[in-house]
Amino acid sequence: MASSLAVDYTRLLREFCRFVGYDEDNLTELQLADFQDVLRTALNQVIHPPLVPTLGAQAHQWSWLRPAWSLDTVADQRRYELQVDFERFIGPLTFDAGEGEYHEILFYPSQRLRNLAAIEDSTGTPAMYSIEPVESDGSEEQVWELVLHPTPDAVYKLVGQIQIGARMLSESYPYPPGGPVHGELYIASVLAAAEAKLDDENNGQKQAAFLARLMADISIDMQRQPTTLGYCGNGRGRFPRSRSEARRMFGGLTTGYTTYNGGIDL
C-alpha cells in the first residue's frame, strides 16, 4: 500500500498543470506531450543531479539507486544482458554465500577479456568480468551486457551492487525512486523544468527552489551512509557475507564498513 505522503505520477501531473495553467482533466495531446517532456527532464536532473558547491567537484550519487544485484549463470554462456536502467557495478562481483569459498570476480577492460578468449576460450569458475554495450539500431534503448571469463562451466550465483539510472514514470508505473522522503524534490524538479521550458517570464525562482531542495535531500541521503570506516584490514581477502560473519572476522564491529568508491552497509 502506498504511503499517504508518497508523490506519484498523478501528483506530479497535477502540480505541473497548476503551474502552467493547464486543465488536468482536459489535456490536449500537445499539453500531455509538454508534461512528458518536462517529466523526463525532471527525473534526469534528480537521478543525475547537478553539482552542488558544498560537495566539491563530484555530483552526488544517491544511496537508493544502488540496489543489491544477483545473477544465476548458465553453463557455457559467456554474455548476459543487463537490465535497461543499469549504469555500472560498484566494486567487485562475488559468489553467493551458498557457493562456497571462491575468489572475487574483478573488473577488467573488455579488450583484455577478448584477448584472453582469443588465446584460450576456456570454461571454468569466472574470475574476471567486463561490461560492453549491446549494439543498437535505435529502435530500442541501448543496454549493456556482462561478459565473464572464463566462460562459466556450471551454474553459479553471482552477487554484487549496481548503480541504476532513471526510468520514465506512467500511470502504470507511477512512483519515482527514493520513497516519500524525496517526494518534494521531484515536485520541485518538475516545476523547475516547466519554468525553464514553458514559462516565457522565467525568472529562475523554481530552479532556485529546486537547488535548495536538492541540497536538503542530499544532506538527508548522506545521513544514511556509514558513519565509520569500520575494519580496514584484509578480512582474509574478501568481504564478510553476513552480519554474523562480520562479527567473527572483525572482532565484534557491527557499525558497517565502506569499500573504495562505493559502500556496503552490514
**Residue 70 sits in the same domain as residue 103:** yes
Is residue 4 one of the residues assigned to a domain?
A: no
State which H helix or E strand residue 146 sits in: strand 144-149
**Residue 85 sits in the same domain as residue 145:** yes
Is residue 197 one of the residues assigned to a domain?
A: yes
State yes or no: pLDDT of 265 exceeds 90: no
Count Cβ atoms below 10 Å from residue 113 Cβ, excluding itself: 19
Cα–Cα distance, 252 to 179 (Å, whole number): 32
Residue-wise pLDDT tens digits, 70-87: 999 999 999 999 999 999
Q: Which residues, at least 6 apart from 126, have a Cβ–Cβ distance to it below 8 Å?
A: 73, 105, 148, 149, 150, 151, 152, 156, 158
**Residue 171 sits in the same domain as residue 130:** no
**Residue 44 sits in the same domain as residue 116:** no
Per the structure, the complete domain to which residue 109 belongs is given by: 65-164
How many distinct structural domains can be found in the chain?
3
pTM of the model: 0.76
Residue-wise pLDDT tens digits, 138-169: 888 899 999 999 999 999 999 999 999 989 99
Do the beta carbons of residue 160 and residue 239 sit within 8 Å?
no
**Residue 76 sits in the same domain as residue 156:** yes
Is residue 141 one of the residues assigned to a domain?
A: yes
Residue range 90-111: mean pLDDT, rounded = 86
Is residue 1 one of the residues assigned to a domain?
A: no
Is residue 60 one of the residues assigned to a domain?
A: no
Q: What is the CA radius of gyration of the chain?
A: 22
